[in-house]
Amino acid sequence: MTTIKGPAVFLAQFISDDAPFNSLDGICQWAADLGFKGIQMPTLDARFIDLQKAAESKTYADELTGTIAGYGLEITELSTHLQGQLVAVHPAYDDFFDGFAPKNVRVNPKARQEWAVQQLKYAAKASQNIGLNAHATFSGSLLWQYFHPWPQRPAGLIEDGFAELAKRWTPILNEFDHNGVDLCYEIHPGEDLFDGETYEMFLEAVNNHPRACILYDPSHFVLQQLDYVQYIDFYHERIKAFHVKDAEFNPTGKQGTFGGYQNWANRAGRYRSLGDGQIDFKTIFSKLAQYDFTGWAVLEWECCIKNQEDGAREGAEFIKNHIIKVTDKAFDDFAAVETNQILNRKNLGL
C-alpha cells in the first residue's frame, strides 16, 4: 500500500489579474502559506509557465521547478484541459470553444485542432523535462450532444465518433509514451469520456494504449448518480491522477440529473467546497491507498456558494486530515509464529 501525496491544489480556478494570483512567486507563496505541498499547473498562461520553452529547454524546466521548490512546493502535474478540449470539437460548439485558442487560429477549426495537438505534444516533453510521470487533460467531444438517444441515433454514429477520437489521440498518446508520461483524461460531463462505459469504448478504440489513463474526480459521478466508490474498484489500475472535489445531489419534483437549465446554485446536482458536499472521501482515500495509488491528492475548488480562498484554506486542511499514512506491518504481527513447513504439513494432516 502507498501513502498518497498531498495536499496539492489545481491553480486554474485561482489565477487572476490580482495579487497574489497574478504571478508565479505570488501564487506559490499563497499556496505554501496555506499548507499545500504541490501545485497542479495550467499551461496557457505565460506568467506561470511557457509550455513550449519547458518542452524545448531542460534548463528552463529546471529553473521553473527550482523557483517553485524555493517555496517548499512541487509541480504535481501539468494540465492541458483547455487544449485537450480542442483536440475534438463538434461544430455546434465552435463558437463557444474558440476562446480557448489563440486569436490566430480562431474561426479555423483545422488550424485550432493542429495547435491543440502540438500543445499536447509540448506537454509530453515538458512533463519529462520537469520529472513528472502523469499529465491532466480533457478528451474533447464529437458526441456529447447525442448522449440522450432521442431523436434516434443513426446506427454506427457512436462507433464512428470513437474511432475518430482515437485517430486524433493515438499520436498524442504515443508521444506521451515516448516521454514516459501517463496521459490522464478527466472523466467529465461534456467530454466523450464521461463515465466508465465511455472510457472503455475509448480504451478499446486506442487498442488499450498503456498511457490512456484516468484523472479520477468523484464530483462528476455524483452529478451522474454513478457509484464513484466502485469506479475505483473497476479502474484503479488506470487511475493515475486525483482531483479532490466535493459535490451534492438533491433531486426535487421539478429537476434531476439534467438540471432544468438552471444556474449552478439552483441545480439538483452542484459542486461544493470540500466537506460541504455529500462525497464519502474517507472511503475514497482508503480505496486509493489500498490500491497503491502513487499520485497526489489535488484540491480542485469549484463551489457555487463558498468563497474560493476560504475553500482553498479549508481544503488544504481537509486533504491533510484524509491522507492515510499506511501501515508497514500487520496489526496481528504480535501473534505471528515462525514459518515451519514440517509443522504446517502436520497441521494439514499430511
Identify the pLDDT of residue 324. 96
Nearest Cα neighbor of 181 from 160, 204, 211 is: 211
Q: Is the peptide bond before 7 cis (omega within 30 degrees of 0)?
A: yes
User: In this model, does residue 274 exceed pLDDT 70?
Assistant: yes
Nearest Cα neighbor of 133 from 59, 52, 211, 66 is: 211
Consecutive H or E run containing 42 = strand 38-42
Consecutive H or E run containing 8 = strand 5-10
Contact yes or no for 324/3 (Cβ under 8 A): yes
Identify the pLDDT of residue 344. 84
pLDDT tens digits for range 11-62:
999 999 999 999 999 999 999 999 999 999 999 999 999 999 999 999 999 9
Output the CA–CA distances (angstroms, integers) from residue 181 to 33, 78, 341, in the order listed.
Answer: 30, 11, 45
User: In this model, does residue 9 exceed pLDDT 70?
Assistant: yes
Identify the pLDDT of residue 334. 62
Question: Pick the residue with more confidence: 77 or 332?
Answer: 77
pTM attached to this predicted model: 0.95
Output the CA–CA distances (angstroms, integers) from residue 40 to 51, 96, 202, 235, 241, in the order listed.
Answer: 14, 25, 25, 22, 10
Identify the pLDDT of residue 217. 98
Identify the pLDDT of residue 348. 84
Tell me how many degrees the CA angle 178-182-188 measures, rounded to the nearest 5. 135
User: In this model, does residue 237 exceed pLDDT 70?
Assistant: yes
User: In this model, does residue 107 exceed pLDDT 80?
Assistant: yes
pLDDT tens digits for range 156-190:
999 999 999 999 999 999 999 999 999 999 999 99
Tell me how many degrees the CA angle 213-217-223 measures, rounded to the nearest 5. 125
Q: What is the DSSP letter of 3?
A: P
* Distance between CA atoms of residues 24 and 197, nearest Å: 39
Phi, psi of 81 (to 5 degrees): -55, -50
Q: How many helices (H) and strands (E) in the chain? A: 13, 10
What's the mean pLDDT in 232-252? Answer: 98
Q: How confident is the model at residue 337 (pLDDT cuts 50, 70, 90)?
A: low
User: In this model, does residue 331 exceed pLDDT 80?
Assistant: no
pLDDT tens digits for range 304-330:
999 999 999 999 999 999 999 998 776
Q: How confident is the model at residue 341 (pLDDT cuts 50, 70, 90)?
A: confident
Identify the pLDDT of residue 152. 96
Long-range contacts of 106-110 (CB under 8 A, 24+ apart): none
| Percent with pLDDT over 70 in the chain | 98
Contact yes or no for 226/195 (Cβ under 8 A): yes
The tally of CA atoms less than 13 A away on the side-chain side of residue 97 is 24
Contact yes or no for 132/64 (Cβ under 8 A): no
The tally of CA atoms less than 13 A away on the side-chain side of residue 110 is 0
User: In this model, does residue 347 exceed pLDDT 90?
Assistant: no
* Distance between start and end Cα atoms, the chain: 35
Identify the pLDDT of residue 333. 66
Average pLDDT, the chain: 96
Q: How confident is the model at residue 350 (pLDDT cuts 50, 70, 90)?
A: confident
Contact yes or no for 235/213 (Cβ under 8 A): no
- What's the grid cell of residue 337? 509464529
Identify the pLDDT of residue 111. 98
Q: Specify the residue for cell string 495550467.
A: 42
User: In this model, does residue 342 exceed pLDDT 70?
Assistant: yes
Domains and CATH numbers, the chain: 5-347 (3.20.20.150)
Q: How confident is the model at residue 332 (pLDDT cuts 50, 70, 90)?
A: low
User: In this model, does residue 339 exceed pLDDT 80?
Assistant: no
> DSSP states of 119-171 as a string?
HHHHHHHHHHHHT-SEEEE---BSSGGGSS--SPPPTTHHHHHHHHHHHHHHH
